[in-house]
Amino acid sequence: MARPPFDPEGFEGPLEIPSGVVAAMIAHCVREAPRECCGLLGGAPPRVGSFHPLRNAATAAETRYDADPRDLIDAVVDLRRRDAEILAIYHSHPRWEAVPSRTDLDENHYGAVPRIIVSLLTDPPDVRVWRLGRDDFQEVPWVAVDDDALHPPTAGE
């Protein structure tokens, strides 16, 4: 029997993120600085099971992100193959706090799907999860968990 589709509107958390994914996500953010980076986390709610770093194709990549279309398609195909869903979208704020900006709200194309923002202002980086609205945002709880259910990345990650 198929599980019901992920309803991000009703998801209260906590989002369970394997510690290896948290480390890989932070490493991706640090590696791309001073550019913003982005990616997807996939799985079956509430547990993240895969990490999909995406290239930032934005022309003003130090202050914006725009996922490379080919990378995004490849990640979604991989998630469908696994019968998984997008559980969160992440991006970095190399020079700002881990709080959604007006640009984050204005360019929200995935509705209530949780957004992870990684701020590089602190060491260690600050990782926070948000649900974005048109003009507001709410923090979503998350926890780091063991890596036992983590899927390996797809080719090219």
**Separation CA 13–CA 15 (nearest Å):** 5
Q: Is the pLDDT of residue 7 over 70?
A: no
> Is residue 8 over pLDDT 60?
yes
- Domain boundaries of the chain, sorted by first residue: 39-145
Q: How far is CA 20 from CA 50, 73, 95, in A?
A: 10, 24, 24
Write down the mean pLDDT value for the chain.
89
Tell me if residue 12 is catalytic. no
Quote the pLDDT of residue 121.
95
For residue 44, how many other CB atoms are within 10 A of its CB?
15
Plot region of 43 (φ>0 → left; ψ -120 to 50 → alpha; else → beta): left
Edge to edge, the sheet with strand 142-145 lists: 137-139, 126-132, 115-119, 85-93, 38-44, 47-54, 15-18, 142-145
Is residue 156 predicted with pLDDT exceeding 50?
A: no
Antiparallel, parallel or unpaired: β 137-139 and 126-132? antiparallel
The residue annotated as part of the active site, out of 9, 16, 32, 36, is 36
pLDDT digits (tens, 9 = 90+) for 43-99: 999 999 999 999 999 998 888 898 999 999 999 999 999 999 999 999 999 999 999
Return the percentage of the chain with pLDDT > 90, whole number. 69
CATH fold label, 39-145: Cytidine Deaminase; domain 2 (3.40.140)
pTM, 2 dp? 0.88
